[in-house]
Amino acid sequence: MFGPDRLRLDGRVALVTGGTRGIGRAVAEAFVGAGAAVCVTARKPDELAETAAALEALGGRVTTHQGSAGTVEVAEEGVAHCVADLGGLDILVNNAATNPYFGPLVDADAPAVRKTWQVNQEGPLYYTQAAWRQWMREHGGNVVNVVSIGGLRVGPFLGAYNVSKAALVHMTRQLATEMAPGVRVNAVAPGLVKTFFARALYEADEAGAARRHPLGRIGEPDDVAGAVLFLASPAASWITGEVLVVDGGASI
C-alpha cells in the first residue's frame, strides 16, 4: 500500500554535487526534510560552510567536500569523504554544471567547450563510477542526474551546454542498464528555473517568460527538488532509465 513513508529517506545517505545554491541547495534541503544524511559538494568553502549550517539548523546530519566537479580525483575524494563521514552513499545527485559560453556552438572556442563538457558530462560519470566502486556495487543505490530540456531539443545560444546535457541524458540510460538491478539511474530535465545560474534567461522580462509557460510562471528550485526526491525515494522503486521533464508545460 502506498503511504507517505514511501517518500521518506530515513537512514539513507545522499551526496549532492553543486549543492550550495539553486536546484542543488533545494535538493539538499528536501533530502534533509525527508530524513536523509547529506554530503554537499561545491567549489567555494564559504558557501559550503553556510549551507552546512543551514542544513544542520533543519535537523540534518551534514558533511561537505570542496572541489570542482569534472575531475576523477575530486569525485573519488568526495565519495570517499561521504562514505567515511556518513557511513555510506545510497543516493547520488549529479547536479553541478557550468556554462561559460553563451552563443552559437559553431562559434564556440575550444577552452569553453572543453570546460562545459568536462563538468557537465565527465563530472557525473566520474562521481557515478566512484559511487559504484566505493559503495553501490555491493550495497545498491540510486543516481539522479540533473539534465535540462535543452538536452531534449535544439535551442539558440546554449549549444555547448545543451549538447552536454543531451549526452548526460544518454549516459543516464546507458548506466541504468549497466548498473541494474541493484542501482536505479534516472534524470530530471528542468525548464527555466529561477536561479542565479539561469538569471540571464529571465531577468530582463520575467513576466514575459512566465507567460510562455502553460502553468503561468517560471520554475522555482523547489519544483525540481520535489521531482528529484520522488525519483530518489522508494515511491519510484520500479523506475529506471527515465527522464522526468519539469518545465511548467513549456515543452508542450
Q: Which of 53, 136, 48 is nearest to 91 (CA)?
A: 136
Please report, for the chain, the start and end positions of each structural domain, with discontinuous segments joined by +: 4-246
Tell me whether residue 156 is exposed, middle or buried, using C-beta atoms within 10 angstroms of its C-beta: 0 to 12, 13 to 18, 19 or more.
Answer: exposed
Q: What integer pLDDT is reported at residue 211 of this predicted model? A: 77
Over the chain (252 residues), the average pLDDT of each successive run of 10 is 83 98 97 98 97 97 96 97 98 96 92 96 98 98 97 90 97 98 98 77 69 87 97 98 96 88
Q: Which of 110, 114, 133, 120 is nearest to 183 (CA)?
A: 133
Does domain 4-246 match CATH 3.40.50.720? yes
Q: What integer pLDDT is reported at residue 245 of this predicted model? A: 98
**Catalytic member of 101, 126, 127, 161:** 161
| 3-state percent breakdown (helix, strand, coil) of the chain, nearest 5 | 50, 15, 35
**Is the model's pTM score more than 0.85?**
yes
101 tagged catalytic:
no
Q: What integer pLDDT is reported at residue 176 of this predicted model? A: 98
CB-CB contact of 115 with 164 (8 Å): no
Q: What integer pLDDT is reported at residue 205 of this predicted model? A: 66
Q: Which residues pair with 212 in a beta bridge?
A: none
| Cα–Cα–Cα angle for 92, 98, 104, rounded to 5 degrees | 135
